Amino acid sequence: MENHTHIRVRELSVYYGREQALKNISVDIPEKRITAIIGPSGCGKTTLLKSFNRLIDSIDGVRVSGEISMNGDNIFNPKIDVTLLRKKMGLLSQRPHPLPMSIYDNVAYGPRIHGIRKKRKLDQIVEHYLKESSLWEEVRDRLHTPASGLSVGQQQRLCLARGLAVEPEIILGDEPTSALDPTASQRIEEKFLQLKARYTIVVVTHILRQAVRLADYVVFLYLGELIEHGPAEEVFKSPKKELTQGYIKGVIV
Ligand code: ADP
Ligand code: MG
């Protein structure tokens, strides 16, 4: 792959107590591409994603070994600013979790924390990122109503807008469409395909068809091990490992 490596993972192992959830994972995540992490439930997909933004460290009893670097910087370096690291990454989870405040305040939240106070500037930012996540037209007349009044699909796009408003480099999605209906899912997928021109996107999915639609690069995990990774074309059309062949055949019929 001619693209630069954005996230470099080397011999990463993660233990929850005595259970090893990730076993010696090494992979390069390409910049400004969509990487899909696929594999059956419980194989470590979420754990890998949470390692990238170091949410994994905040879980009791977790032990991590190995290396992850982002643009060449080791993220486990004790001197690293974890808040800054997380600012570089927007995370979409399985169910949208808008903050219990208005649509406007959800998007303005991050920029306000980062010191932007002027109303005119905030207005611009809110409009910009709501447009960026294709939500503006639907909410422009009710910006100051609670985010909880939106449909689940709209809430997920609002969470995307909120994430983008802190100007991340990377978008992480943990089965971000699993709570959405087909139309709302499609809108998120379309968004990802547009956003990859400017962001590195890593999306966990157990929907293989979604991986086929989205992925430039595929990482297949099975029981905590990385079985196969490579350009999507290769992994889907001519998987090298029997486990990958079985998984792809079992799901794509
Ligand atoms: P996936 O996202 O692929 O379904 P996870 O990364 O959530 O898989 O989980 C991988 C393994 O780690 C599973 O066996 C799961 O039970 C275990 N696990 C995940 N989170 C925790 C936790 N907080 N405490 C203990 N075990 C966990
Ligand atoms: Mg998961």
For residue range 94-143, list pLDDT tens digits in order.
Answer: 999 999 999 999 999 999 998 999 999 999 999 999 999 999 999 999 99
Cβ 46 under 6 angstroms from ligand 1 = yes
| 47 in contact with ligand 1, CB cutoff 6 A | yes
173-228 confidence digits (pLDDT tens): 999 999 999 999 999 999 999 999 999 999 999 889 999 999 999 999 999 999 99
252 Cα to the center of ligand 1, angstroms: 25
pLDDT tens-place string over residues 151-162: 999 999 999 999
Gap from CA of 94 to ligand 1 centroid (Å): 15
Nearest CA to ligand 1 atom 22: 16
Whether ligand 1 lies within 6 angstroms of the CB of 83 is answered as no
Query: Ligand 2: distance of its center to the CA of 111 in Å?
Result: 29
For the chain, percent of residues with pLDDT exceeding 90 = 92
Which atom of ligand 1 lies nearest, measured to the CA of 221?
Answer: 3
Is the pLDDT at 251 greater than 90? The verdict is: no
Atom of ligand 1 nearest to the CA of 43: 3
Ligand 1 atom 26: residue of nearest CA: 16
- Which of the four pLDDT bands, split at 50, 70 and 90, describes residue 2? low
Cβ–ligand 1 distance for 102 under 6 Å, the answer no
For residue 22, give the ligand 1 atom closest to its CA: 10
The DSSP result for the chain, as a single string, is --SPEEEEEEEEEEEETTEEEEEEEEEEEETTSEEEEE-STTSSHHHHHHHHTTGGGGSTTEEEEEEEEETTEETT-TTS-HHHHHHTEEEE-SS----SSBHHHHHHHHHHHTT---HHHHHHHHHHHHHHTT-HHHHGGGTTSBGGGS-HHHHHHHHHHHHHTT--SEEEEESTTTTS-HHHHHHHHHHHHHHTTTSEEEEE-S-HHHHHHH-SEEEEEETTEEEEEEEHHHHHHS-SSHHHHHHHHHH--
pLDDT, tens digit, for every residue of 108-120?
Answer: 999 999 899 999 9
User: Is any atom of ligand 1 closer than 6 Å to the C-beta of 16?
Assistant: yes
Distance, C-alpha 59 to centroid of its chain: 19
Q: Per-residue pLDDT for 253 more than 60?
A: no
Residue 252 has what pLDDT?
47
